[in-house]
Amino acid sequence: MRTQVGIIGAGPAGLLLSRLLQLQGIDTVVLENRSRDYVEARIRAGILEEHTVQTLVDAGVGERLQREGLPHDGVYLQYPGVRHHLDFPSLCGRRVWAYGQTEVTKDLISAQLHDGPPLLFGVSDVVPEDVDGDSPRIRFTDADGVPQVLECDAIAGTDGFHGVSRPVVTAGTGGRLWERTYPYAWLGVLADVAPSTDELVYAWHPDGFALLSMRSPSVSRLYLQVDPGERIEDWSDDRIWTALATRSALDGWELETGPVTEKSVLPMRSFVSAPMRRGRLFLAGDAAHIVPPTGAKGLNLAVADVTLLATALTRLLAGGRTDLVDTYSDRALARVWRCTHFSWWMTSMLHRAGDDFDAELQLSQLRRVCGSEAAARELAENYTGLPVG
C-alpha cells in the first residue's frame, strides 16, 4: 500500500488534515485503532472559534454546522451576586459557535467515507518507521488481522495524547516535555433540558467552579469542579443538580433540571511536547499538547495546527519546497503556548484551590475583567481565537 501522507488517528485533527490535503490533490490514508461507533460517540469539546468554523465551511464540511450550530456573542462571568456579560463582537469583532465535537467528527467521517480517501477503522499495532529519511512507512495490522505496510512521503501523528507518534518524535529529537497537573477535575454532564441561559456561564463559587453550556436548544452540557479522585457513582443526579444550582445561583433566576443522559469525571492537565516534528513525522493536536478545558481551546488548537500543517505539506509534496515544513513546529508552538497560557489563566482564575488569600486574588481578577474594557478585551480576543499563521 502507498500514499503521500499516512495519517495516524481519526480524531478531528487527522480527519480534517485528510480533508484539507484531499482538496489540494494530495493522497492520504487515515488509520484509526477504534471503531467508527466509538469515535463518533466520544463526548468532548463544544465551542468552536470563528477560524475553526470558517475552516470547516471552506473544506465543504460545514453545512450542518451552519444549520444547527448555535452562534454565541459572548459569555457570562459569574461570582457571588454578579453575573456579567462579555460582548465579544464589540470587544474584538468575533464570536464563537456551540457545536459538539461529536458532530464535527460525524460530519468529517461521513464526508470522508462518501468521496474521500481511505479511512481504516479498527487497525492495531500501528508503528511509524524510518521517519528520518524521505520514505517513511507505517506498519499496522488491519481490522481482519492481516499485517500491512503503508509506504508514505510523510506521516502525520494525530493520534491524541495516548498515541504512538509522540514517543517516536521525542526519542529521536531529544525533545522536551512540560506538564502541569491541577488539584481538581471536571464532572461533565449531558442533560435533556433546554439551556437555562442564552450564553455560557463560567461561575466562580466557594464550593468550586461550575460551567453551564449547551449542545442544542433542548440539550444542556454542564460541568462541576470536583476532586480528581472523585467516583462518578457517588454523584447521583440529584446531587449534581443541587451542586449546579448552588454554584450558579442568582436572585430571580433558576436553573432548569432534566434527565441526565451521560456523566463522567474528566482529568485536567496542561502538557506541551516540543518539537512537533522529527524528519518526515509531524505531530498535530492532542498528540503534541493538552490544555485544561476551561478556555475551550483543545479542539480549536488541533484545527489551528492542522491548518498550518496542511499548507506546509502541500508546499512540500506538490511544490518540492521545504520552507514551511521546516518552520511548522516553531510556528505551531508559538500558538500552542499562547493557548496554554490562556487556558491555565482561565482555569486558575475560576477554580477553587488554596486558601482565602487565593480566593481574594481570584475575585479581584474577576472584578477586573468585568470592570475594565481592556481586561475584558484580552479575554475576548483569546477566547474567540487569535489569528492562525
Question: Cβ 282 to ligand DHB, closest distance in Å?
Answer: 26
Stretch that binds ligand FAD, among 4-12, 19-27, 241-249, 308-316 (CB under 6 A): 4-12
28 part of the interface to ligand FAD, by CB under 6 A: no
Nearer to ligand FAD, 32 or 199 (CB): 32
Residues 13, 20, 21, 45: which binds ligand DHB (CB under 6 A)?
45
Task: State the catalytic residue, choosing from 117, 195, 292, 293.
Answer: 293
Cα distances from 268 to residues 9, 73, 205, 227, 293, in angstroms, run: 22, 27, 19, 11, 7
One-character DSSP codes across 225-290? EE-TT--GGG--HHHHHHHHHHHT-BTTB------EEEEEEE--EEEEEE-SEETTEEE-GGGTEE
Residues 39, 75, 150, 203: which binds ligand FAD (CB under 6 A)?
39
Question: Cβ 45 to ligand DHB, closest distance in Å?
Answer: 6
101 part of the interface to ligand FAD, by CB under 6 A: yes
How far is it, in rounded angstroms, from Cα 221 to Cα 48? 15
Nearer to ligand DHB, 280 or 297 (CB): 297
How far is it, in rounded angstroms, from Cα 367 to Cα 346? 14
Q: Annotated catalytic, 76?
A: no
The one-letter amino acid code at 287 reads A
Per-residue binder mask for ligand DHB (CB under 6 A), 126-155, x = binder? ------------------------------
Helix ranges restricted to H, the chain? 12-23, 36-41, 50-58, 63-68, 88-92, 101-115, 165-173, 237-247, 298-319, 323-350, 356-371, 373-384
Residues 19, 26, 29, 32: which binds ligand FAD (CB under 6 A)?
32
Nearer to ligand DHB, 157 or 295 (CB): 295
CA angle, 226 as apex, 225 and 230 as ends, to 5°?
155
Question: Cβ 188 to ligand DHB, closest distance in Å?
Answer: 7
Per-residue binder mask for ligand FAD (CB under 6 A), 52-91, x = binder? ----------------------------------------
Nearer to ligand DHB, 111 or 268 (CB): 268
221 part of the interface to ligand DHB, by CB under 6 A: yes
Q: How many alpha carbons lie under 13 Å from residue 206 in its C-beta half-sphere?
A: 6
108 part of the interface to ligand FAD, by CB under 6 A: no
How far is it, in rounded angstroms, from Cα 134 to Cα 320? 12
Q: Annotated catalytic, 293?
A: yes
Task: State the catalytic residue, choosing from 72, 205, 289, 351.
Answer: 72
The entry of ligand FAD, ligand DHB, none near residue 159 (CB within 5 to 8 angstroms by kind) is ligand FAD
In 3D space, the residue among 167, 149, 148 whose CA is nearest the CA of residue 157 turns out to be: 167
The entry of ligand FAD, ligand DHB, none near residue 272 (CB within 5 to 8 angstroms by kind) is none
Q: Annotated catalytic, 297?
A: yes
200 part of the interface to ligand DHB, by CB under 6 A: yes
How far is it, in rounded angstroms, from Cα 165 to Cα 162? 9
β-bridge mates for residue 86, sequence order = 75
213 part of the interface to ligand DHB, by CB under 6 A: yes
C-alpha cell at 95: 464570536
CA angle, 333 as apex, 328 and 336 as ends, to 5°?
130
Question: Cβ 292 to ligand DHB, closest distance in Å?
Answer: 8
Phi, psi angles (nearest 5°) of residue 2:
-140, 145
How far is it, in rounded angstroms, from Cα 345 to Cα 317? 39
The entry of ligand FAD, ligand DHB, none near residue 160 (CB within 5 to 8 angstroms by kind) is ligand FAD
Collapsing DSSP to helix, strand or coil, 383 comes out as helix
Residues 150, 191, 296, 376: which binds ligand DHB (CB under 6 A)?
296
294 part of the interface to ligand DHB, by CB under 6 A: yes
187 part of the interface to ligand FAD, by CB under 6 A: no
How far is it, in rounded angstroms, from Cα 346 to Cα 361? 13
Give the interface with ligand DHB as residue ranges (CB under 6 A): 45-47, 200, 211, 213, 221, 293-296
Residues annotated as part of the active site: 72, 202, 293, 297, 383
